[in-house]
Structure 1
Amino acid sequence: MPHGPLDHRYRGEHPVRTLLYLYREDRFRLALGAAAFFVKHSPTWLTPVVTAHVVDVVVEHRPVAGIWVGSGLLLLVLALNYPFAILYTRWWYGSARRLGMRMRYALSRRMQQLSIGFHARVSAGVLQTKVIRDVEGIETSTQQVGDQGLAALATLGGALAVISFGAPAFLPVFLLVVPAASVLVMWLRGRLRAYNESFRQEVERLSSRVGEMTTLIPITRAHGLERTALTRMDGTLRQVFHAGMRLDGLNVRFGALAWILLNALGVGCLAGAALAAYRGWLAVTPGDVVMLSAYFASLTGAVTTLMSLTPLISRGLESVRSLGEVLEAPDVEHNEGKARVDAVRGHVRFEGVGYSYPGSPRGSVTDFTLDVRPGETVALVGASGAGKSTALNLVIGFLRPTEGRILLDGADLEDLDLRSYRRFLSVVPQESVLFEGTIRDNVTYGLEDVSEDALRRALADANALEFVDRLPGGLDTVVGDRGARLSGGQKQRLAIARALVRDPRVLVLDEATSALDNRSEALVQEALARLVRGRTVFVVAHRLSTIRNADRIVVMEDGRIAEVGSHDELLRSGGLYAAQARSA
């Protein structure tokens, strides 16, 4: 992609520094955009000068040509507004949009690198809010700072420059406005940060709650729990409301105080300039009084605008901090610099493997030792919480052992680039994960140049071709969000086809038939029988029909291996497996 990965890693430094880093690629465009804005905005600070000149022409009866010269100058700078407005938008707004694109790509890339544990802790709704709302907040802040901030700076700079030459005696009065405004901004900034952070966290909780509510709608409606769901949502909405009102209240108090102070200074300047002209204390013409009055109004307006940007900038910086929670998250799978896997035989050996989840008082898997030969099918069984899923996640590399090691064809998984290893691995989960797209897109996801014959062969081996060919669009039928237009058995057979078309050497089956009816299970079991041939397979299942033909069955209890053997061997031994088989 033209916008490559963001190599910067947010480390908790001040977000202004991070923003400057992020905009480094566009600094030249931003400079051009600022210059274009100053040209397009020049009528704002030139108008008082021309007005003062026209007033003096009228009052002092100077040659009337002065009126035409002033009017012509204003018309010229007004005409320049159009082309320079286009240039400003292209350079300044374009930079903001490019930053948004790079940030969203960087966040997406980081989320692909973060561990499954991170995604288990942080809801999808919160991450979606960061990628959409927070990046949009940074874009909006940049654009509005350009529109309002550059306008204020252009007015401020132009006014001070003209007053320095035209009425220098009044310059100290104008310069009083800046320190007065700075004191107000410093007072506000600390409080705004805390209020913005609180509001942002409440919005993230709301996003998470909305995602939860929409997921639970079938259960909610089936059990008549609509009122309960709305009560939970109402509490979250009220928290967002109160946090927003606290933030709005602070912004309003600050804006009113700044407006009163600055306009009071403007009244004082007008009275002082008029009195100086009236008494003849200074060489001030009636036109100068009009100019000074207009400039002070413009100046106070510019400073008020700059101060009103403080809440907007604070929200933008809070968005940077919010994105930093993802960009600086330490729970990352590190693959750079590790050995690539170019071929896999499928020999997996566990040597004293243990794994403990953070904060857990005991290990989920303890002293797990097992040698799985290439092409062997191993089933993991046991009660809920016995450690089966943890063992599968260790095989996939989603989790790293906290004790012992796992060898793949003799090489420690810790030393391998897991991304290259997973090209030889496929997973068929309990619930098939499909996205909004066609059957072709879902089955060949991530693969290029899959021939029509290979695709149809995979679907046929997965017992899916018969229903695919009956669909109106065939392979190009859109399956709907999460495969909503397909049955559970159909989705699962597509998941098997997705695994088959990859021709994996290591296969993980996680309760692949547990949610199916008998007919669908029979079709899926038949497809699985084709899928496992010649591959190293790890199976987790509760149904005996799924595991009885495994080469070895590993019975787990409290994270440990309790017994190992074939189906017949374990039944003869009369242990845990035999007890489970009798109760099934």
Structure 2
Amino acid sequence: MALPQGPLEHRYRGEHPVRTLAYLFRESRLRIVVAVLAFIVKHSPVWLLPLVTANIIDIVVERRPISQLGANTMVLTVVLLLNYPTHLLYVRCMHGSVRRVGTGLRSALCRRMQELSIGYHSRISASALQTKVIRDVENIEVSAQQTADTGLGAIITLVGGMVVIAARVPEALPVFLVMVPATTLLVRRLRGRLRTHNERFRRQVEQLSSRVGEMTSLIPVTRAHGLERTAIGRVDGTLRQVLTAGIRLDLINGHFGALAWILLQAIGIGFLAGAALVSYYAWLPISPGDVVMLSTFFTTLTGSMTMMMSLTPIISKGLESVRSAGEVLEAPDLEVNAGKAQVTAVKGRLDFEDVSYRYDGEGPAAVTGFDLRVSPGQTIALVGASGAGKSTVLNLLIGFIRPVSGRILLDGSDMAGLDLRSYRRFLSVVPQESVLFEGSIRENVGYGMPDIDEETVRDALRDANALEFVDRLPNGLDTVVGERGARLSGGQRQRIAIARALIRDPRILVLDEATSALDTRSEALVQEAMNRLMRGRTVFVVAHRLSTVRGADRIVVLDQGRIQEVGSHAELLRRGGAYARLQSNQLG
């Protein structure tokens, strides 16, 4: 089944969440109308039963024709039998619409995350984003389903009951017109507090999710240093905050429910007593059947009112989840590619012209006045201490961030006017820690290339020095590597990543400390594979070990975001400058 598509991520602008929900359900309007009609039929026995009961009592008391008893019984029986097919029709139309909306919203959130800049993802916890996609959308689905099921039942019962009462005992109708405004006033007084506490509780659960994600990722570190108690203490602190906020939220909801129930029961008892007195003294023409009908209706309609008011925290929770999802959908930190020139071919020439970048508007510059001309096929190594600006230059090259001043030219064209998604088809990155997803080796190497044949995959693995160990695995290319490649060693993961880069035949290659975490033997195999990968391509290499960059055409030495010197390994050593000092420090 195709996933629902829609421009929600381009439409959401912080409007009221009810409007957002209306927009989400716009394509299901016909299904919802059918669902409501089916619900009216299936739910009609709830308000028809008191009326039929009143008729039967009056038939017995007033000795009416027995045929009326059969007619009333037949009507109720037919309506009861219709409940089964109409209920299935309602579930298919209403619940199906809710499920489609949930799927569409998750899809919109995931698409939006792919469009948001790397800077946004560095600020927002991955666990918090995961919570929005899973928990918040689930809250919206549950809220919509419960509101439809319970709300429709309550509304139809109320409307049907009041129509019957208005037709048979119109004198009782004004009491219901008093109950509704009283309930509305109660809801409006508490709704503001409910929204505040729901929002606070939601944010604390997001913080808990982030803290648990942090704890699980750091388990090897905490266990290695005997810091289990510290890690558990950090999580326990957040758990206590979530517990306190949850209890406070439950108490508010409890106060709300109790007050509403007492109010409605008091009104019901008062009206029932009044109706009994009116019938007893014959002040109005109310039959014994009408008294029973009113008694039953008050119980039923009171329950309906109570159910409607009990929906307030559920609705508030759902609307807060809509706002939470909206924080992603309306985030402005986007990589905008619409309307920009498509990149159809890349030679590999890159020109950095007085490029500067800072990660926030007022902080120190991460890169300042970066000038560099790179010819196709050249290998450029970036070296320097931590914080020198190497990763920033790579992020600028990949297009994750844009210069605040200066420009970067790709084959003579300003990258600011290019569709970076099309540009990245000609670029591959081999990071320090290769990221593999839980799938087979074949799927990881050919990621995003569904039509790639097996021989091409094997050639890429062979050139990456990976085919030998892959063939020894139990299922060969179909061996599942585990989450983040956990079933492979670091060197094996890195060679799979190189094979993934090789199979794309990139024109520009980024190697971000690709051998720094490997042992000597693995480093030799990976380095040999990288040498094959680098042939004929424009390559940018970042490495702490200067021994791995000796063969670069030019080495760029960075310090606090500025270029200190540029040259080959031999030239820089002869100068005796910053590079020579770095070399001396490593050898020493």
User: Partner of 1:541 in structure 2?
Assistant: 543
Q: Deviations over 1:29-60 (max 9, x none)?
A: 11111111111000000000000011112222
Question: Contact 1:356 / 1:364 at 8 angstroms: preserved in 2?
Answer: yes
Of the three residues 166, 169, 187, the one matched with 2:189 is 187
Of the three residues 299, 302, 313, the one matched with 1:300 is 302
Of the three residues 481, 497, 500, the one matched with 1:498 is 500
User: Partner of 1:445 in structure 2?
Assistant: 447
User: Partner of 1:73 in structure 2?
Assistant: 75
Deviation at 1:68? 2.5
Deviation at 1:545? 2.3
* Amino acid in the other structure paired with 1:574: G
Deviation at 1:13? 1.1
Greater shift, 277-286 or 293-302, is seen at 293-302
SS of 1:12's equivalent in the other structure is coil
Question: Contact 2:3 / 2:103 at 8 angstroms: preserved in 1?
Answer: no
SS of 1:176's equivalent in the other structure is helix
Deviation at 1:301? 1.3
Corresponding position: 1:424 with 2:426: yes
Question: Contact 2:354 / 2:407 at 8 angstroms: preserved in 1?
Answer: yes
Q: Deviations over 1:182-240 (max 9, x none)?
A: 00111111111101000100110011111111101111111111111111111111111
Greater shift, 2-11 or 77-86, is seen at 2-11
User: Partner of 1:14 in structure 2?
Assistant: 16
Which residues of 2 match residues 208-227 of structure 1 at below 5 A?
A: 208-227=210-229
Deviation at 1:61? 2.1
CA distance in 2, matches of 1:174, 1:449: 67
* Amino acid in the other structure paired with 1:535: R
Of the three residues 59, 64, 84, the one matched with 1:62 is 64
* Amino acid in the other structure paired with 1:381: V
User: Partner of 2:527 in structure 1?
Assistant: 525
- Mark the runs of 5 or more structure 1 residues left unpaired by the alignment: none
Q: Taking every aligned residue pair, what percent have the same amino acid on both sides?
A: 67
Corresponding position: 1:50 with 2:52: yes
Question: Contact 1:6 / 1:103 at 8 angstroms: preserved in 2?
Answer: no
User: Partner of 1:175 in structure 2?
Assistant: 177
* Amino acid in the other structure paired with 2:89: L
Q: Deviations over 1:114-154 (max 9, x none)?
A: 01111111111100100000001111111101110000011
* Amino acid in the other structure paired with 1:198: R
Q: Deviations over 1:317-338 (max 9, x none)?
A: 0000000100000110000000
Corresponding position: 1:403 with 2:405: yes
What is the TM-score of this pair, normalised by structure 1?
0.99
Of the three residues 72, 87, 110, the one matched with 1:85 is 87
Question: Contact 1:5 / 1:109 at 8 angstroms: preserved in 2?
Answer: no
Deviation at 1:66? 2.7
Deviation at 1:360? 5.2
CA distance in 1, matches of 2:386, 2:67: 95
User: Partner of 1:574 in structure 2?
Assistant: 576
Corresponding position: 1:267 with 2:275: no
CA distance in 1, matches of 2:360, 2:12: 24
Question: Contact 2:556 / 2:566 at 8 angstroms: preserved in 1?
Answer: yes
Two-structure CA RMSD over aligned residues (Å): 0.9
* Amino acid in the other structure paired with 2:451: D
CA distance in 2, matches of 1:208, 1:393: 25
Deviation at 1:362? 0.9
Question: Contact 2:438 / 2:484 at 8 angstroms: preserved in 1?
Answer: yes
CA distance in 2, matches of 1:343, 1:534: 15
Q: Deviations over 1:371-410 (max 9, x none)?
A: 0000000000000000000000000000100010000000
CA distance in 1, matches of 2:537, 2:308: 66
CA distance in 1, matches of 2:223, 2:479: 29
SS of 1:407's equivalent in the other structure is strand
Question: Contact 2:158 / 2:304 at 8 angstroms: preserved in 1?
Answer: yes
* Amino acid in the other structure paired with 1:241: L
* Amino acid in the other structure paired with 1:4: Q
Of the three residues 370, 373, 376, the one matched with 2:375 is 373
61 and 289 in structure 1: CA distance in 2 versus 1, 3 angstrom threshold? same
CA distance in 2, matches of 1:184, 1:212: 42
Of the three residues 459, 480, 483, the one matched with 2:482 is 480
Greater shift, 213-222 or 406-415, is seen at 213-222
Q: Deviations over 1:72-130 (max 9, x none)?
A: 22111111100000000000000000000100000000000001111111111100100
User: Partner of 1:24 in structure 2?
Assistant: 26
CA distance in 2, matches of 1:13, 1:6: 15
CA distance in 2, matches of 1:307, 1:362: 54
CA distance in 1, matches of 2:228, 2:547: 39
Q: Deviations over 1:521-568 (max 9, x none)?
A: 000000010000000000000112210000000000110000000000
Deviation at 1:450? 1.3
User: Partner of 1:114 in structure 2?
Assistant: 116
Corresponding position: 1:138 with 2:169: no
CA distance in 1, matches of 2:545, 2:155: 72
Question: Contact 2:3 / 2:104 at 8 angstroms: preserved in 1?
Answer: no
What is the TM-score of this pair, normalised by structure 2?
0.98
Number of positions where the alignment pairs a residue of Structure 1 with one of Structure 2: 584
Corresponding position: 1:289 with 2:294: no
Of the three residues 386, 389, 392, the one matched with 2:391 is 389
* Amino acid in the other structure paired with 1:536: T
Deviation at 1:2? 4.2
Corresponding position: 1:317 with 2:306: no
User: Partner of 2:155 in structure 1?
Assistant: 153
* Amino acid in the other structure paired with 1:41: H
Question: Contact 1:177 / 1:300 at 8 angstroms: preserved in 2?
Answer: no
CA distance in 1, matches of 2:133, 2:366: 33
SS of 1:538's equivalent in the other structure is strand
Deviation at 1:5? 4.2
Question: Contact 1:378 / 1:550 at 8 angstroms: preserved in 2?
Answer: yes
Deviation at 1:67? 2.5
* Amino acid in the other structure paired with 1:525: Q
SS of 2:472's equivalent in the other structure is coil
- Mark the runs of 5 or more structure 2 residues left unpaired by the alignment: none
